Structure 1
């Protein structure tokens, strides 16, 4: 699954969703008939897109399962995912969550920090969740901190700023 957007809020009375896309292929991902998986909100697990349009710089999405403003409001902050294949990746610095999960996280000197267990998609960007000997660590998934993703070698190399792994 690939994160393709987040529901920002409801629009109008008929259940349109204001979506913040997180894909370069918004027209394809939100095309009529596309099935989106919803997480982060209770109750709804999938949406079937019936229409999508740009309005004042925002993507408005209509789905079969959302028929009024209340149903749309219930999806606020929901994360939208779509099925994806590795062929969907257009750039070398883009990865699917399943590709990162299970990778060994190590420092440049080779010392192991932990294992990537998941990726959290937040408003401020992605975080790698690491299972470490002393508990769970959250690492911002940005080039400055994670300069190397070596899928073939089964590892990510970390260059953390001073204090990132210090206890709070």
Structure 2
């Protein structure tokens, strides 16, 4: 697949014995996950139409096309579901999809190149940009805050950072 994709949910295993799955949505509006179908697996090899059947604890019970038995549903436990980036709604100017940030050039406030965004991590206390530069042995994590990342320019493909002292030494 050449178009960027965004992880919008994950399958938690079977729900009942008739092929329904437990579905955890990562969308701001959890039920909107059904609007982005067909969804694919991470490798893009399998596509699913999705229909939410009801809300359950920690997510939804859902039907996926081609999944008709408990065994098939259980085999999908832990599978992440992806939507095509162009299917997702536009965001306000100060919000970004993680997929849009990956690969952007990272410059310091003086314009010096520091590397590129390798990944975006969210461990619950706020997002972190993982930056890897050409001469770096290991990547660096930068808090994705206005103070540390004052500018994100998707149009030019760059992020301006003001990293804490000593982070890139």
TM-score between the two structures when normalised by the length of structure 1: 0.70
Cα separation, partners in 2 of 1:101 and 1:120, compared to 1, 3 Å: closer
Deviation at 1:114, TM superposition (A): 0.7
Residue 39 of structure 2: SS of its match in structure 1?
strand
Residue 93 of structure 2: SS of its match in structure 1?
coil
Deviations 1:76-130 (A, max 9, x none): 222211123387123333334553344211233433211235x467776866554
2:52 is aligned to 51
C-alpha contact 1:11 1:17 (8 A) present in aligned 2: yes
1:77 is aligned to 78
Residue 51 of structure 2: SS of its match in structure 1?
strand
Say which of 30, 33, 42 aligns to 1:39.
42
Bigger proportion of residues as strand? 1
Please give the root-mean-square deviation of Cα atoms over the aligned residues, in Å. Answer: 3.5
C-alpha contact 1:30 1:52 (8 A) present in aligned 2: no
Range with bigger deviation, 58-67 or 87-96: 87-96
1:115 is aligned to 116
1:5 is aligned to 9
- The question of 1:156 aligning with 2:137 is answered no
C-alpha contact 2:12 2:21 (8 A) present in aligned 1: yes
Cα separation, partners in 2 of 1:163 and 1:84, compared to 1, 3 Å: same
Runs of 4+ in 1 over 6 A off after TM superposition: none
Residue 41 of structure 2: SS of its match in structure 1?
strand
Cα separation, partners in 2 of 1:85 and 1:60, compared to 1, 3 Å: same
Provide the C-alpha distance between the structure 2 equivalents of 1:87 and 1:19, rounded to a whole number of angstroms.
19
C-alpha contact 1:30 1:61 (8 A) present in aligned 2: no
Provide the C-alpha distance between the structure 1 equivalents of 2:115 and 2:15, rounded to a whole number of angstroms.
43
Cα separation, partners in 2 of 1:56 and 1:100, compared to 1, 3 Å: closer
Listed as ranges, the gaps of 5+ residues in structure 2 are: none
TM-score between the two structures when normalised by the length of structure 2: 0.70
Provide the C-alpha distance between the structure 2 equivalents of 1:164 and 1:59, rounded to a whole number of angstroms.
42
Provide the C-alpha distance between the structure 2 equivalents of 1:141 and 1:74, rounded to a whole number of angstroms.
37
